[in-house]
Amino acid sequence: MKITMIGASGFVGTRLIDLLLHDEGNTYYVKNIDLQHSHFFDSHTTIGDVRIQEDMDKGIADSDVVVLLAAQHRDDVSPVSLYYDTNVGGMEKVLNAMEKNNVKRIVFFSSVAVYGLNKNNPNEEHPKDPFNDYGKSKWQAEQMLQKWYESHPDWNINIIRPTVTFGERNRGNVYNLLRQISGGKFLMVGKGNNVKSMAYVGNVTAFVKYMIDNLKDGYNVFNYIDKPDYTMNDLVPLVSKVMNKHIPSIRVPYAIGMMGGYCFDLLTKITGRKFAISSVRVKKFCSTTQFDSTKAHSIGFKPPYTLDEGLTRTLEFEFLHPAKDEIVFKSE
């Protein structure tokens, strides 16, 4: 099977390439098209831009499946038009290239951000209400796929909406949280009862492989979350156990936390610097981000790791036995 990945030099893409290339049961030819070189799979990587039609036309030729990961995803991208140029315009370029090359299977990485904040455990049919430009652009890309499928019913379109994804070498929100907790510098904003759905990268990539191997027809959409969900109050004792250390936590009311976030917003506006704290990040930290993944876990897929195992593997790799090569992937 010839699989062309677009934007796979990052965190999830690197793990997916590794999983496919080292699978003993199947033979995959994997190609990656990305603006950046790959730290681990550069021999499989061609430099290309999802926003340029010629790059997509050439790169997708002779493929069986396209896996589209390329996206603007940080919450501080400027100008905001970059979200739409890449996440929506890139989708259009990819679909055009697939049609030109008679490629009829695509796996698209969307996001649970399409649902918005503080929703009540939404499943795949829940109304979409994205609150930021990242979520809005991902939803627009999905709508483009929906419309495309109406005129291309013989295509196979698989969409995964993962929740926040963590794992070894990732430098995103979950890593920052684990680092703060394990380092004893954790500040609990609010009561800590808010639920945080998470997904371990080893399970996310395994689910994508499952879709490639087994879901070869129709239009399919899946949330992906590892269960059971954790609250912030659940996470602290797990870190304490793995790190074998007592971890004190300081609590501040939500209103004070948001005030601090607005202060950093002002500093960013005045100085032009980007800080680790902002009002958006405080709001996201204190929000409930719980999503239903019954559908993904009821089609025969068995995640290779529990959430506890994923968190433990990450903590041990990052803080107990850190890699010496210092290769990391920055994300949200």
- Enumerate the active-site residues: 134
Residues 6+ positions from 29 with CB-CB distance below 8 Å: 1, 2, 3
- Taking CA atoms, 196 is separated from 57, 97, 121, in Å, by 40, 38, 11
- Nearest partner of 201 among 315, 310, 330, 72, judged by Cα: 310
* Helix (H) / strand (E) containing 4: strand 2-6
Among the listed residues 117, 51, 119, the one whose alpha carbon sits nearest the alpha carbon of residue 86: 51
- Give the dihedral of Cα atoms 99, 83, 48, 220; nearest 10 deg: -40
Cα distance between residue 43 and residue 55, in whole Å: 18
| SS3 at position 185 | coil
> The tokens of 280 are what?
């958006």
- Please give the distance of CA 158 from its chain centroid, rounded to a whole number: 16
What the block records as the tokens of 26 is: 């199947």
Find the DSSP H helices in the chain: 11-21, 53-60, 81-87, 89-100, 133-151, 173-182, 201-214, 232-243, 254-271, 279-286, 307-315
Whole-number Å distance between alpha carbons of 7 and 71: 7
Q: Long-range contacts: 129-132, Cβ < 8 Å, 24+?
A: 132/75, 132/280
Q: Which helix (H) or strand (E) holds 121?
A: none
Q: Which of 244, 241, 283 is nearest to 261 (CA)?
A: 283
